[in-house]
Amino acid sequence: MKAILPLSLAAFAALVSAGCIHTEETVTRDESRVPISFENEAAGRIFYEALSKMPGSGQHRESSVDVEVPLVFEHRTKTVRGPNTAFNEAVARADTNRDGKITETEANIFAAQVR
């Protein structure tokens, strides 16, 4: 009985002290919006309506990295792309002549592509 108590305490101490380091981080990578102007109010309205209907416009793309060493260390990093990324991609698609101004014709073409 005297031998069991020290062994039980040693086993308990080993279980309690054996742990793992766990870290998790989420990084949002966003970019600034590209400057854009519209030929008229209708062009802006058409563009923004089409942008809101784009698949995945409300979703953010994610990528993750997991690094694990069993029972010792675990680190997870998740990278999320911000909402301005979708806006910038839409502007690049809509502004076909790259002059920094979306015309009503360009906005209509962009809207037709999104449907």
pLDDT value of residue 115: 77
Residues recorded for the chain: 115
In Å, how far are 3, 7, 9, 65 from 12, measured between CA atoms? Answer: 15, 9, 5, 34
Tell me the whole-structure pTM to 2 decimals: 0.60
pLDDT at 83: 82
**In the prediction, which pLDDT does 7 show?**
65
List, for the chain, all residue ranges whose pLDDT scores fall below the cut of 50. 16, 59
Residue 100: predicted pLDDT: 95
Residue 54: what pLDDT? Answer: 85
